Amino acid sequence: MHDPIEIAKNIYWIGVNDYETDLFEAQWPLPEGVSYNSYLITGDKMVLIDTVKKTHLSQYVEKIRKLAGDGGTIDYLVINHMEPDHSGAIPIMKQLFPEMNIVGNKKTIDLVKEFYGITAGVTTITDGDELDLGSHRLRFVLTPMVHWPETMMTYERSSRVLFAGDAFGSFKALDGGIFDDEIDRSRYDDEILRYFSNIVGKYSPMVQKALVKLKGTDIRVVASTHGPVWRTSPEYIIGKYDIWSRYIAETGAVVAYASMYGNTLKMAEAVSRGLSLGGIKEIRMYDVARTHPSSIIRDAWRYKGIVLGSCTYEMGLFPAMRNLVELLQEKGLKDRVLGIFGSFAWTGGAVKNLRSFTEKSGWRLIEPVIEAKCAADGHQLDECVRLGNSMAKALSA
């Protein structure tokens, strides 16, 4: 999208879409791209809110020039977040607009120096400080660890726009529409949750603290650094973040399995059948070897029930399952019910490791735990159905 788009009076979206980067943070797939949202406040002062990844400079500068005019100046750059997908353009911005003052909290200003060697022309603000721009007034709200220690939000008082940093963001580029009322939201919902669960979810307690701080603030527009701008239903995305960061789940289950020759898959199918017989309709079966863990983590965040089944590989978990289990542990997802099962051919290991994960996760283990040698027999498959059924009861309770 080549033109700046006004999101409130004299405030413009000047973000860019990135369809070329395959992996966000070099690890999370971007099948539908991602947007880096930056904003420009015009009026008495020209103020940039965050920048974009350095790979998308030309389009970005073009939009700034359209608003500032050739030879125009930028007075301030407010930095809500220093991760380079937003800060990468800072050195070039500073070269193009040497008079531009960089505004951030102490941690931000330290990172500006450490990433880019910039120490002059900076202003350090603290929590609750305000910046009077004449036609606009900004209030800074420090929200550490949503997603990095320096992250903050900036609230524009006259238009009631919240520039939220990474919070309330999404994977997926903006295909023409940028506002929540211009898009088919159902096409974004999965990517909004995959973004939350993999990027921000680990810091859920800090999201809760941020939401408490924002309570009572009249927010008309939520302008994140990624994804749609929420001008019609900002309460939708704020509400979702509240639910997800309190680990509240929907009724349903993820059945993630690792199977080399189909025997563990057979057990997984029996568990899923048990879930279905128990009345659960939302069942998501995932082969961990063929599904990126970010999608499984997304649905683990969405649903209350998680069943993990693995064959044994080199006396432990199958590698893709080990990776998933480590990621789940790292993300700190809480308050789930767990079922486990597995198989081995000549020596065990998978189920033992899943038991160890159970203890670390703090999730409620649903019985029975099934461990089959080579291939589950009829009784063991019945037990898998029973596991699914018991989980269904736990989910419906």
Check binding of 147 to ligand FEO (CB under 6 A): yes
DSSP state of 200: I
Minimum CB distance to ligand FEO, residue 169 (Å)? 7
Half-sphere exposure of 127 (CA within 13 A, CB side): 8
DSSP state of 314: T
Measured from the CB atom, the residue of 37 and 389 that comes closer to ligand FEO is 37
Minimum CB distance to ligand FEO, residue 380 (Å)? 45
- The Cα-based distances of 293 to 262, 288, 298, 323 in angstroms read 20, 7, 8, 8
For residues 361 and 385, give the distance between their C-alpha atoms in angstroms, rounded to a whole number. Answer: 24
Residue showing the smallest CB distance to ligand FEO in the complex: 83
**Which residue(s) pair with 104 in the sheet?**
124
Measured from the CB atom, the residue of 85 and 180 that comes closer to ligand FEO is 85
Q: CB under 6 A: which stretch of 62-70, 83-91, 187-195, 347-355 binds ligand FEO?
A: 83-91
- The Cα-based distances of 58 to 53, 63, 86, 93, 273 in angstroms read 11, 9, 15, 11, 54
Q: CB under 6 A: which stretch of 78-86, 205-213, 276-284, 364-372 binds ligand FEO?
A: 78-86
Minimum CB distance to ligand FEO, residue 84 (Å)? 8
Q: CB under 6 A: which stretch of 13-21, 79-87, 177-185, 203-211 binds ligand FEO?
A: 79-87
Measured from the CB atom, the residue of 86 and 194 that comes closer to ligand FEO is 86
Measured from the CB atom, the residue of 85 and 371 that comes closer to ligand FEO is 85
Q: Please answer whether residues 257 and 289 qualify as being in contact, where contact means their C-beta atoms are separated by less than 8 angstroms.
A: no
Paired tokens of 247? 């680990």
Minimum CB distance to ligand FEO, residue 69 (Å)? 29
Q: From start to end of 191-348, where are the E strands?
A: 221-223, 229-230, 250-258, 283-287, 303-313, 316-317, 337-344
Which of residues 105, 108, 225, 361 is near ligand FEO by CB under 6 A? Answer: 225
Measured from the CB atom, the residue of 88 and 293 that comes closer to ligand FEO is 88
Which of residues 50, 83, 269, 371 is near ligand FEO by CB under 6 A? Answer: 83
Residues in contact with ligand FEO, total (CB under 6 A)?
8
Which of residues 53, 226, 266, 298 is near ligand FEO by CB under 6 A? Answer: 226
Tell how far CA 248 is from the center of its chain. 16
Report the chain's C-alpha Rg in angstroms: 24
Q: How many residues does the chain have?
A: 397
Question: SS3 of 336, please?
Answer: coil
Each residue 149-188 as x (binds ligand FEO by CB under 6 A) or -, in order, gives -----------------x----------------------
Measured from the CB atom, the residue of 298 and 304 that comes closer to ligand FEO is 298
Tell how far CA 110 is from the center of its chain. 25
Q: CB under 6 A: which stretch of 77-85, 93-101, 127-135, 288-296 binds ligand FEO?
A: 77-85
The CA angle 31-37-43, to the nearest 5 degrees, is: 160
Give residues in contact with ligand FEO (CB under 6 A).
Answer: 81, 83, 85-86, 147, 166, 225-226
